[in-house]
Amino acid sequence: MKQGTTIITLDNGYHLWTNTQGEGDIHLLALHGGPGGNHEYWEDTAQQLKKQGLNVQVHMYDQLGSWYSDQPDYSDPKIAEKYLTYDYFLGEVEEVRQKLGLDHFYLIGQSWGGALVQMYAAKYGQHLKGAIISSMVDNIDEYVTHINQVREEALPADAVAYMKKQEAANNYDDPQYQKYVDVLNDGYVDRKKPAAISHLIPTMSRPVYGAFQGDNEFVITGKLKEWQFEPHLKEIKVPTLLTFGEHETMPISTAKRMAKEIPHARLVTTPEGGHHHMIDNAPVYYDHLATFIRDVENNNFND
């Protein structure tokens, strides 16, 4: 399979940026979070897995609207209604799979990408060897409860009260509010902040992120308020790895429940890892991932 970057044309006419790294007969398709983020924290995944003694071809892409792919005019209500939906992004994963010629592969997704993994594994599981849900819950209410606890523990009471006041006024541009968001991000989302994936300007697609999440990771005002996948967990039949950071925005208590409800699941956690624990503690994260893939490949996966 072609290495490096390939631009694929979707049936809808839009173009997606894709990139393949690594060698071997094992294939891993990586989904980024946000939604509206990009692939960049997966760039060294093939190298990290090789350090663990595993040769894997890793396929990455930026979802529609994200940094390296086409960005529709979401200010057009008809375009927003058509493309800013769960169904669109789930269908996009399947179309990318087809256009890259993948089958019997592993699917990994971070955060929002982990929601797509859950949906894809339930609907298109016949194409998968295994699913990896990285830092994503099945129940948004449990997430909201947890992030409220996180900021109450991380910030003084007056700071939390200030944030809630600005949120009630829909005043997310307030400079002091954003300073508090930065403090929370430093502690629970981007703990390590590698220079390699920093940019001179923000790369998050705000129209996509805003439609689903809202202003930041610690408040949900978009469509993710509706996210409730727990009734469908039993439909995920493939071996599944749940991987969470031990110091992040997603509640590990929910991950433990998910591991019990998904028929064939294993839960692992990463010490000193935040929401992006593949960066915060790469050796542990990729040891867990390589062990999972190796166990599945050797028919030695025990949930």
Looking up residue 205, the CATH number of its domain turns out to be 3.40.50.1820
Phi and psi at residue 268, in whole multiples of 5°? -130, 150
d(CA 93, CA 259) in angstroms, rounded, equals: 24
Q: Note whether residue 176 is domain-resident.
A: no
User: Which residues are the active-site residues?
Assistant: 111, 248, 275
d(CA 145, CA 38) in angstroms, rounded, equals: 27
Q: What is the pLDDT of residue 196?
A: 79
Q: Note whether residue 146 is domain-resident.
A: no
Q: Burial-class residue 147 by CB neighbours within 10 Å (0-12, 13-18, 19+).
A: buried
Q: What is the pTM of this model?
A: 0.96
Q: Note whether residue 183 is domain-resident.
A: no
Q: Note whether residue 284 is domain-resident.
A: yes
Is residue 55 classed as helix, strand or coil in its secondary structure? Answer: coil
Domain count, the chain: 1
Per-residue CA distances from 291 to 27, 175, 286, 294 (Å):
15, 44, 8, 5
Structural domain harbouring 289: 4-139+196-298
Q: pLDDT by residue for the chain (303 residues), tens digit each?
A: 789 999 999 999 999 999 999 999 999 999 999 999 999 999 999 999 999 999 999 999 999 999 999 999 999 999 999 999 999 999 999 999 999 999 999 999 999 999 999 999 999 999 999 999 999 999 999 999 999 999 999 999 999 999 999 999 999 999 999 999 999 999 999 998 888 788 999 999 999 999 999 999 999 999 999 999 999 999 999 999 999 999 999 999 999 999 999 999 999 999 999 999 999 999 999 999 999 999 999 999 986
Q: What is the pLDDT of residue 81?
A: 97
Written as six digits, the tokens of 229 are 């996948």
d(CA 157, CA 178) in angstroms, rounded, equals: 16
Q: Note whether residue 184 is domain-resident.
A: no
Q: What is the pLDDT of residue 135?
A: 98
What is the helix (H) or strand (E) element at residue 68, kind and residue range? Answer: none
Q: What is the pLDDT of residue 197?
A: 83
Q: Note whether residue 240 is domain-resident.
A: yes
Beta strands 15-21 and 56-61, pairing class: antiparallel
Q: What is the pLDDT of residue 141?
A: 96
* Contact status, residue 183 vs residue 59, Cβ threshold 8 Å: no
Q: Which residues pair with 107 in a beta bridge?
A: 29, 131
Q: Note whether residue 113 is domain-resident.
A: yes
* Contact status, residue 18 vs residue 61, Cβ threshold 8 Å: yes
Q: Note whether residue 154 is domain-resident.
A: no
